């Protein structure tokens, strides 16, 4: 996500401002022509783009705007994703997707909240943004369609790995209640050979449950293997200048980690500086300064969780496989206690992702990094 800095038009320029409040059955549109103009609210069926187009035409007439008047819209990021954004762009509407967590709210213990109030608030904020006011909200980066489709593979694999872990833990838990342990090597009908803590065979009901769970686990593993082969084929077919090809050429960076970095936007987000990367990761400082009180609250953690997880994994792999790297030496010099190791690995992950971003976009490898041998 990125802070809004764009400036559309001017206060004196005629413009139609539209805020969408989305739900599963209906969309509420709040429309206005600028500061001091009472918003007009209409409701259309969810997904009915022709109805949206007709409503925009009616709004132009209501506010006395010409047919060619620029239309600027916004809606909060959510379950509908980006297809509405692309449809609005195709209609000639300049749309923005807003990070819901960045919208300012009243700090009262209880506050009124309805779709109508939310739409009114959003359209008034949109007018402020288009007039040039900064830091009203934060906007979501919309990925290219190809990038959005490509990241389905890495996200599916992550979900399958979670399912694999969940099923394994469940079977381990079931066996523990009978004083048994889950075998490390499991082949064939392994549940028939496991004994309880008293030396007897497992109950037949538990054996059937384990058999069904093992069948589901085998299916999950098969699907993971299929995705791994697809990712490997993608990496092998990539050009030498491709970001994915560059990343997997480094020792300590595997196909899975590189694929997640690329899919979650290491390249297509078009970062301008290292601070934006730290903000996306959530590995950015949060100072507290009030009067004479000054202290650091730690990292924000409000970032992309997939990137957070893979960056920590890559950091540990980097320490192992890149011992001569300045990044590794910095970590070893800093992390002299278990507590400092926990702090240092997060700092190393941030430094490493920044270095990998530069490598992906410019081709300049991290200083002291070693490439894999053919």
What pLDDT score does 159 carry?
Answer: 95
* pLDDT computed for residue 30 by the predictor: 95
At residue 8, the pLDDT reads 52
Please compute the mean of the pLDDT values over residues 202-210 and round it to a whole number.
95
Mean pLDDT of 154-176: 96
Mean pLDDT of 314-337: 93
Looking at residue 273, the DSSP 8-state letter turns out to be: S
Q: Mean pLDDT, the chain, as a whole number?
A: 89
What is the reported pLDDT for 103? 85
Please say whether the beta carbons of 360 and 246 come within 8 A.
Answer: yes
Instruction: Name the maximum alpha-carbon separation found in the chain.
Output: 86
Q: Which residues contact 99 (CB under 8 A, 6 or more apart)?
A: 1, 76, 77, 137, 138, 139, 140
Rounded-to-integer distance, Cα 148 and Cα 162, Å: 21
pLDDT band at 219 (very low <50, low <70, confident <90, very high): very high
129 three-class SS: helix
List the one residue out of 33, 126, 37, 34 whose CA is nearest residue 76. Answer: 126
The DSSP code for 25 is S
With 0.85 as the threshold, say if the pTM is over it: no
Positive/negative CA dihedral, 183, 187, 189, 193: negative
Q: Per-residue pLDDT averaged across 63-89, rounded? A: 93
According to the model, what pLDDT value does residue 286 have?
81
- Whether 2 shows a pLDDT value over 60: the answer reads no
Which has more confidence, 4 or 188? 188
Q: What is the pLDDT of residue 355?
A: 93
The stretch 205-219 carries a mean pLDDT of 96
The pLDDT score that the predictor gives to residue 4 is: 40
Is residue 214 scored above 50 in pLDDT? yes
To which residue do tokens 């910095």 refer?
330
Segment 44-53, tens digit of pLDDT: 999 999 999 9
Q: Over 70: is that where the pLDDT of 1 sits? A: no
Q: What is the pLDDT of residue 11?
A: 52
Tokens 């490598």, residue located: 359
H helices present in 322-363, as ranges? 326-334, 338-362
Kindly report each contact of residues 304-310 with a partner whose C-beta sits within 8 Å and lies 24 or more positions away, as own/partner.
304/264, 304/265, 304/280, 306/154, 306/155, 306/158, 306/260, 306/264, 307/260, 307/261, 307/264, 307/280, 307/281, 307/353, 308/281, 308/282, 308/283, 310/256, 310/257, 310/260, 310/261
| pLDDT tens digits for range 8-36 | 555 557 899 999 999 999 999 999 998 88
Distance CA(12)–CA(62), nearest Å, equals: 18
- Top pLDDT among 363 and 218 is at 218
- Percent residues over pLDDT 70 in the chain: 96
pLDDT at 7: 46
Question: What is the pLDDT, as a whole number, of residue 374?
Answer: 62
CA-CA distances (angstroms) from residue 342 to 133, 252, 285, 316, 335? 40, 19, 16, 11, 8
Nearest CA-CA partner of 371 in 223, 188, 247, 239: 247
- Burial label for 69, CB within 10 Å (0-12, 13-18, 19+), is middle
Q: What are phi and psi of 236, to 5 degrees?
A: -70, -35
Residue 3 predicted with pLDDT over 50: no
pLDDT in tens, 233-267: 988 888 888 999 999 999 999 999 999 999 988 88
């Amino acid at each position: 996500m990125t802070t809004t800095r764009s400036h559309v038009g001017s206060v004196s320029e005629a413009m139609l401002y539209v805020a969408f409040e989305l739900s599963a059955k209906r969309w509420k549109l709040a429309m206005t022509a600028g500061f001091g103009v009472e918003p007009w609210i209409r409701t259309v069926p969810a997904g009915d783009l022709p109805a949206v187009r007709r409503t925009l035409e009616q709004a132009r007439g209501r506010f006395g705007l010409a047919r060619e008047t620029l239309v600027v819209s916004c809606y909060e990021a959510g379950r509908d994703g980006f297809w509405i954004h692309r449809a609005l762009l195709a209609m000639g509407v300049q749309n923005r997707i807003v990070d819901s967590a960045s919208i300012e709210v009243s700090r009262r213990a209880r506050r009124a909240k309805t779709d109508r109030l939310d739409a009114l608030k959003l359209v008034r904020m949109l007018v402020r943004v288009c007039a040039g006011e900064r830091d009203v909200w934060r906007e979501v980066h919309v990925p290219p369609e190809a990038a959005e489709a490509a990241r389905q593979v890495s996200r599916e694999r992550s979900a399958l790995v979670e399912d694999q872990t969940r099923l394994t833990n469940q079977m381990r838990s079931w066996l523990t209640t009978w004083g048994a342990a889950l075998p490390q090597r499991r082949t064939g009908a392994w549940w028939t050979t496991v004994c309880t803590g008293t030396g007897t065979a497992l109950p037949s009901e538990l054996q059937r449950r384990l058999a069904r769970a093992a069948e589901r686990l085998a299916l999950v593993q098969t699907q993971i293997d299929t995705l791994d082969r697809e990712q490997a084929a993608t990496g092998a077919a990539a050009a030498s200048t491709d970001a994915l090809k560059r990343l997997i050429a480094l020792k300590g960076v595997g196909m899975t980690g590189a694929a997640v970095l690329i899919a979650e936007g290491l390249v297509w987000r078009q970062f301008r500086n290292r601070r934006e990367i730290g903000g996306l990761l959530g590995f950015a400082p949060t100072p507290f300064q009030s009067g004479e009180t000054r202290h650091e609250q730690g990292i924000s953690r409000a970032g992309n969780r997939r990137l957070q997880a893979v960056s920590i994994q890559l950091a540990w792999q980097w320490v192992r496989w890149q011992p001569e790297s300045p990044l590794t030496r910095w970590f070893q010099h800093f992390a002299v206690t278990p507590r400092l190791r926990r702090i240092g690995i997060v700092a190393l992950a941030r430094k490493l992702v920044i270095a990998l971003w530069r490598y992906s976009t410019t081709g300049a490898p991290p200083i002291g990094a070693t490439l894999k041998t053919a």
